[in-house]
Amino acid sequence: MSADTRTKLLAGALRTLTEQGLAKTSARSIATTAGVNQALVFYHFGSVDELLAAACGYGAEQRVAHYRERFARVGSLAELLELGRELHAEERAAGHVAVLAQLLAGAQTQPRLVPATAAGLALWIEEIEQVLARVLAGTPIAAFVDVTGLSRALAAGFVGLELYEGVDPEGARGALDALEQLSGLIGVLEDLGPVAQRAVRARIRRSTGRRGAAAPEAR
């Protein structure tokens, strides 16, 4: 029964954030949404901030698990971006990305939210990083891409698009289109012959100043 109450409170906190926003989320509003006594918020979590932090991790685990099989089926950067479009539309419609954005904003002034919010983002970053490492392997740019850094940039951009789309939907679509153009460019590089690919790698080395271990070149 205790575990069931905790789950109700976690789900209630997320639903309250979605429907009422962080400013109106309180022990009373969460308890009302969860259908439990307000005192149980403090009994199980100690404070509203601690409940919100736990709810952040709980929600991220639920959402990442929901998409894990689809991430595993991605075989190219283009497919990853297509999944990103679908994920963006689904999560925006459900209000989940808005919740994460609010928690990120709240973490600026409420330190207790920082570790859990970062951990929630880390779950998304880990999934994206695994896909990027797989789809970029063997491409002409593989040796020059910081996959972890790129994964973080994509995760941050995903949250930012949620906020951006609220004021400029066309601009948000343009941002996603630009990423697709980048995917197409990588596809063109992959279609180049061995000599051209070596030239591209050399040019990238000169422009980035990196001498990472490049993938074996075809002869």
Sign for the pseudo-dihedral over CA of 35, 39, 42, 47: positive
What string of pLDDT tens digits covers the 219 residues of the chain?
577 999 999 999 999 988 888 888 999 999 999 999 999 999 999 999 899 989 988 988 999 999 999 999 998 888 888 888 888 888 878 877 778 777 887 888 888 788 888 888 899 999 999 999 998 887 767 777 889 998 998 888 877 777 777 778 888 788 778 777 766 666 655 555 666 656 666 766 676 665 444 444 443
Q: What is the DSSP letter of 47?
A: S
CA geometry: angle at 216 spanning 210 and 217, to 5°? 95
Q: Which two tokens stand for residue 133?
A: 């490492």
Secondary structure of residue 111 in the 3-state scheme: coil
Q: Please state, in angstroms and rounded to a whole number, the distance separating the CA atoms of residues 161 and 179.
A: 13
What single letter denotes the amino acid at residue 168? D
Question: Which residues 6+ apart lie within 8 Å of 91 measured at CB?
Answer: 63, 97, 162
Q: Which two tokens stand for residue 58?
A: 């709980």
What single letter denotes the amino acid at residue 17? L
Query: Please, where are the H alpha helices in 35-168?
Result: 39-45, 48-72, 77-94, 96-107, 113-136, 147-167
